């Protein structure tokens, strides 16, 4: 396994602490261990889970929702639908995960004794309305569920039953849109209600209020928003959707989401919303958030074990896919298997192209601004067609695919879909390749990066078929809440992938 760590001679750590499309972080502490969960939207398995001993190095240990009985995403689930905004907590010897499936099942609660799994089947919460659910227990054991809006109701977490009426608590600054992502904490003499507001775009921010009971009334912090980069030239924007946690030395920290826009005006972010870490101090009973830096000072405690990053290369020798691999809406064993051809991933086509919601697709998130992705694909049996895609959603994706002795680059940008380039290749398996690199700055309209797509000759020579503007695979163009995913797909018959290699490159 490849590991990443902080150099003993370098007193800084890199932010984001979890790069790539890992938004809406929620964190909890259990003894000396920290666990963090993120939203997963239309991808299966859902809710990636991470472990750390120091809040800096995070290793993915699994996905909480890895069975169809836990995660039902119909084939017509819209991109940026599905699973929203989990809250992860450790209480009374168990881990609790509450989340919203906006594509049909509403609010759901799961439990586990080990956050690496298995997690329970869902407890349905028909009496909990709204997205972004949070759970907190008061001193007498009463469980309170707070949702975007910001409203609250009493919840029995063992049965899913609610009691009483939903109470409106506090909705942030007057006139601020989208009060959401509530988290409730009992810290010292006060109950604190942390929310996001301003929308998850450039106006995003974090605000807080406090009261003497978990039901309020709540007094807003006079310094709200306690964190926002709106109206600044900070390299990290859209900062919000935060959660508080206490560090190993008793200090306080905040995890939150942010994006890294690139290019000219208005700036485009392509890797989705990422997880950042910032320090917090308490002054006069209010949290004061420290500077969010991409190279932040190392925390004042011994750093734990280095993070175990996903393997750069996967030869598909294992019976099951590693946790970083995600599929669209579901993963049927008959359509995705490493058992048919040992040492290869076999994908059988459902949808006819990446434009289809039900296309057979297996990918991993883009986590570096510059990277190279390669895969060896064989479609020589029958009428197979498959390839390598850079995907944002059904309406925004680039791909390089092979079939019938041809390699083609396709581009889908909104209503436009076209074959950009094609080239004949000899029969047999072919290495397909995609690369991203920052675009040379020309003027204010320059996009964030260039996406190169092509294939490799038998001697390893790269044949670039197209270099495409990366802005069209950005949230600012496509909309939604997700980031880029590099993946393998089959769009006719079967495609066999012998290996997949993801290589970070220097910008």
Residue 486 belongs to domain with CATH number: 2.60.120.200
d(CA 296, CA 253): 13
Counting Cα atoms < 13 Å in the Cβ hemisphere of 430 gives 30
Compute the radius of gyration of the chain from its Cα atoms: 23
CB-facing half-sphere around the CA of 333: CA atoms within 13 A: 6
Q: Output DSSP code: residue 104.
A: T
**481: pLDDT strictly greater than 60:** yes
Integer CA distances (angstroms), 23 to 26, 109, 311, in order = 9, 19, 22
Contact indicator for 88, 143 with CB cutoff of 8 Å: no
Tokens of 138: 């008061």
Among 265, 284, 309, the domain-final residue is: 309
End of a domain among 309, 326, 356?
309
24 labelled catalytic: yes
Confidence (pLDDT) at 383: 87
One-character DSSP codes across 355-372: TSTT-EEEEEE--SSSEE
Q: How many angstroms separate the Cα of 426 from the Cα of each of 410, 463, 489?
A: 20, 14, 21
Does residue 354 register a pLDDT over 70? yes
Q: What is the pLDDT of residue 5?
A: 39
Same domain, 160 and 276: yes
**Residues near 337 by Cβ (< 8 Å), separated by ≥ 6?**
345, 346
> What's the confidence (pLDDT) of residue 309?
83
- Examine the domain organization and report whether 270 and 387 are in the same domain: no
Active-site option among 180, 393, 401, 449:
180
Query: What are the tokens at 378?
Result: 């064989």
pLDDT of residue 7: 41
Instruction: Specify the pTM.
Output: 0.96
Q: What is the mean pLDDT of residues 432-452?
A: 96
- Domain identity same for 258 and 351: no
pLDDT at 162 over 60: yes
Mean pLDDT of 268-288: 98
CA distance linking residue 152 with residue 431, whole number of Å? 54
> Is residue 165 predicted with pLDDT exceeding 90?
yes
Q: What is the pLDDT of residue 507?
A: 62
pLDDT at 470: 98
φ/ψ bin of 55: left (φ > 0), alpha (ψ from -120 to 50), beta (otherwise): left
Q: Is the pLDDT of residue 463 over 60?
A: yes
Low-confidence winner among 63-67, 176-180, 369-373, 380-384 (lowest mean pLDDT):
380-384
Element of type H or E holding 478: helix 475-478
Instruction: Provide the pLDDT for residue 4.
Output: 41
Residue 29's CATH number = 2.115.10.20
Q: Is 305 in the same domain as 443?
A: no
100-109, long-range: CB < 8 A, 24+ apart: 100/131, 100/132, 100/133, 101/71, 101/72, 101/73, 102/131, 103/42, 103/73, 103/74, 103/77, 103/78, 104/72, 104/74, 104/77, 105/72, 107/133, 107/147, 109/135, 109/157, 109/160
Separation of CA 440 from chain center:
28
Q: What percent of the chain has pLDDT over 70?
A: 98
Residues facing 125 on adjacent strands = none
Residues found in the chain: 507
Residue 1 in this model has a pLDDT that exceeds 60 = no
The 3-class secondary structure across 410-469, one letter per residue, is EEEECCEEEEEEEEECCCCCEEEEEEEEECCCCCCCCCCEEEEEEEECCCCCEEEEEEEE
On whether the CB atoms of residues 11 and 297 are closer than 8 A, the answer is yes
Q: CA distances (Å), 357 to each of 42, 44, 47, 74, 409, in order? A: 10, 13, 20, 10, 20
Helices (H), 235-390: none
The per-residue pLDDT for 377 is 98
Q: Is 116 left (phi over 0), alpha (psi -120 to 50) or beta?
A: alpha
Q: Are residues 462 and 322 in the same domain?
A: yes
pLDDT, one tens digit per residue, over 298-311 is: 888 888 777 888 88
Residue 10 has pLDDT above 80, yes or no: no
Q: Which two tokens stand for residue 421?
A: 């380039």
Instruction: State which of 281, 309, 337 marks the end of a domain.
Output: 309
Please state, in angstroms and rounded to a whole number, the distance separating the CA atoms of residues 132 and 424: 50
Confidence (pLDDT) at 132: 98
46-87, pLDDT tens digit by residue?
999 999 999 999 999 999 999 999 999 999 999 999 999 999
On whether both 304 and 321 belong to a single domain, the answer is no
Q: What is the pLDDT at residue 240?
A: 98
Q: What is the mean pLDDT of residues 242-246?
A: 98
Distance (Å) of CA 122 to CA 64, 116, 467: 11, 16, 45
pLDDT, position 310: 87
The pair phi, psi for residue 275, each rounded to 5°, is -95, 125
Which of the residue ranges 9-23, 243-257, 406-420 would you say has the lowest mean pLDDT?
9-23
Q: In terms of Cα–Cα distance, which of 269, 287, 87 is closest to 206?
A: 287
> What pLDDT was estimated at residue 3?
37
> Is the pLDDT confidence value at 419 over 80?
yes
Q: pLDDT tens digit string along 247-268?
A: 989 999 999 999 999 999 999 9
Tokens coding 453: 């797509």
What share of residues in the chain are helix, strand, coil (percent, to 5)? 0, 50, 50
Query: Mean pLDDT throughout 469-496?
Result: 97
pLDDT of residue 301: 85
How many separate domains does the chain show?
A: 2
Residues 324 and 234 in one domain: no
In a shared domain, residues 229 and 348: no
56-481-33 Cα angle (round to 5) = 25
391 and 470 belong to one structural domain: yes
21 and 44 together in one domain:
yes
Q: Report the distance separating Cα 209 and Cα 220, nearest Å.
A: 4
Q: CA 317 from chain center: how many Å? A: 26
Question: Residue 259 in contact with residue 273, Cβ under 8 Å?
Answer: yes
Q: Is 340 annotated in the active site? A: no
Task: Looking at the structure, tell me whether residues 388 and 476 fall in a common domain.
Answer: yes
Q: In which domain, by residue range, is 438 found?
A: 313-504
The overall average pLDDT reported for the chain is 95
Given this model, what pLDDT does residue 210 score?
98
305 and 359 together in one domain: no
Which whole number is the average pLDDT over 453-465? Answer: 97
């Amino acid at each position: 396994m490849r590991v990443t760590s902080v150099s003993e001679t370098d007193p800084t750590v890199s932010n984001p602490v979890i790069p790539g499309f890992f938004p809406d972080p929620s964190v909890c502490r259990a003894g000396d261990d920290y666990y963090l969960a993120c939203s997963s939207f239309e991808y299966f398995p859902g809710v990636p889970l991470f472990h750390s001993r120091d809040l800096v190095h995070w290793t993915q240990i699994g996905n909480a929702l890895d069975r169809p009985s836990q995660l039902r995403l119909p084939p017509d689930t819209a991109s940026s639908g599905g699973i929203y905004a989990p809250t992860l907590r450790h209480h009374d010897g168990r881990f609790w995960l509450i989340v919203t499936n906006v594509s049909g099942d509403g609010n759901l609660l799961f439990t586990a004794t080990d956050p690496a799994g298995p997690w329970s089947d869902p407890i349905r919460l028909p009496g909990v309305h709204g997205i972004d659910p949070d759970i907190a227990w008061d001193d007498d054991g009463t469980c309170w569920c707070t949702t975007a809006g910001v409203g609250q109701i009493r919840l029995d977490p063992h049965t899913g039953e609610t009691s009483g009426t939903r109470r409106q608590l506090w909705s942030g600054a007057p006139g601020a849109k989208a009060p959401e992502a509530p988290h409730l904490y009992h810290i010292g003499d006060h109950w604190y209600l942390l929310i996001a507001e301003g929308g998850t775009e450039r106006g995003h921010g974090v605000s807080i209020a406090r009261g003497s009971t978990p039901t309020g009334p709540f007094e807003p912090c006079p310094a709200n928003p306690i964190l926002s980069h709106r109206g600044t030239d900070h390299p990290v924007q859209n900062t919000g959707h935060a959660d508080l946690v206490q560090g190993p030395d008793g200090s306080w920290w905040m995890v939150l989401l942010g994006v890294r826009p690139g290019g000219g005006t208005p700036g485009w972010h392509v890797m989705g919303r990422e997880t950042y870490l910032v320090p917090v101090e308490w002054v006069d009973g209010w949290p004061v958030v420290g500077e969010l830096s991409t190279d932040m000072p190392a925390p004042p405690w011994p750093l734990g074990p280095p993070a175990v990053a996903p393997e750069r290369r996967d030869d598909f020798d294992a019976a099951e896919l590693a946790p970083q691999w995600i599929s669209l809406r579901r993963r049927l064993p008959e359509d995705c298997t490493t058992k048919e051809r040992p040492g290869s991933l076999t994908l059988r086509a459902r949808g006819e192209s990446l434009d289809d919601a039900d296309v057979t697709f297996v990918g991993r998130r883009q986590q570096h601004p510059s990277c190279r992705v390669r895969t060896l694909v064989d479609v020589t049996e029958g009428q197979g067609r498959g390839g390598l895609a850079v995907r944002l959603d059904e309406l925004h994706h680039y791909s390089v695919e092979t079939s019938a002795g041809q390699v083609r680059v396709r581009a889908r940008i909104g209503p436009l879909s076209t074959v950009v380039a094609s080239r004949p290749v000899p029969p047999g398996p072919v290495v397909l390749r995609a690369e991203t690199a920052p675009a040379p700055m020309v003027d204010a309209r320059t996009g964030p990066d260039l996406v190169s797509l092509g294939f490799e000759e038998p001697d390893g020579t790269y044949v670039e078929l197209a270099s495409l503007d990366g802005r069209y695979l950005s949230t600012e163009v496509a909309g939604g809440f997700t980031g880029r995913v590099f993946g393998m797909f089959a769009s006719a018959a079967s495609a066999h992938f012998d290996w997949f290699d993801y290589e970070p490159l220097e910008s």
